[in-house]
Amino acid sequence: MLSAVDLAAIWLTFKLASLTTATLMVVGTPIAWWLARTRSRIKALVGAVVALPLVLPPTVLGFYLLITLGPHGPVGHLTQSLGLGVLPFTFAGLVVASVFYSLPFVVQPLQQAFEAIGPRPLEVAATLRASPWDSFFTVIVPLAKPGFITAAILGFAHTVGEFGVVLMIGGNIPEKTRVVSVQIYDHVEAMEYAEAHVLAGGMLLFSFLVLLTLYSRKGTSVWK
């Protein structure tokens, strides 16, 4: 039912979403923590930048990424001088783009979780002479666990659902940048509706199950 190309696209999408989510948990946690705790005047500024992908069309993000990551852009100059080449048309490029694109889906649930905990548990931990790192991992992480799970699920699912950005900087290369959403688009354009149905139906089912799981978890606010 699924061709080798389709399977390759599914595997690639899974790899991309996993790697993106892992990166986002590492990058997003300190940002969310800072946003939840800071009284800095630039809090609103950082919060707004993080939330931009929620409202920007993927074409805007894709267009700027294509230019800044390209050989004449600032990031392109940097990656070239490091001997890494340029990022568009590579799997690494898709990961970078996806991290930007899915950033708010990870940062915002984490920020909400951290804010809900409040400063009290950390103060208590400090009186018990726990170091800041120690108290973060032994106090905050367990308390914010539902937030971490929500953030990971949303980050993963949103990356799977990515299309416009990948289309603009991916170059549609099998096993490197041709993810499921692009493969579906190709099938539809080539009028291969039967193949499109299999993948599109699978995507619909997957997304529904993810959200169902998310909303079925008791006692956690998912999203505001």
Answer yes or no whether residue 61 interacts with other proteins by CB under 8 A: no
- Provide, rounded to whole angstroms, the least separation between the CB of residue 49 and other proteins: 24
Answer yes or no whether residue 23 interacts with other proteins by CB under 8 A: no
| Interface pick for other proteins out of 89, 136, 163, 206 (rule CB under 8 A) | 89
Answer yes or no whether residue 218 interacts with other proteins by CB under 8 A: no
Answer yes or no whether residue 163 interacts with other proteins by CB under 8 A: no
Answer yes or no whether residue 130 interacts with other proteins by CB under 8 A: no
φ/ψ of residue 40, rounded to 5: -60, 150
| Interface pick for other proteins out of 167, 179, 180, 199 (rule CB under 8 A) | 167
- Burial of 216 by CB count in 10 Å (0-12 exposed, 13-18 middle, 19+ buried)? exposed
Q: Which residues contact 114 (CB under 8 A, 6 or more apart)?
A: 32, 33, 36, 37, 140, 144, 147
Residue-wise burial string across 7-16, b where 16 or more C-beta atoms lie within 10 A, e elsewhere: ebbbebbeeb
| Residue 40 DSSP symbol | -
Answer yes or no whether residue 121 interacts with other proteins by CB under 8 A: no
**For residue 35, what are its two tokens?**
């946003």
Answer yes or no whether residue 70 interacts with other proteins by CB under 8 A: yes
Stretch that binds other proteins, among 13-21, 97-105, 106-114, 183-191 (CB under 8 A): 183-191
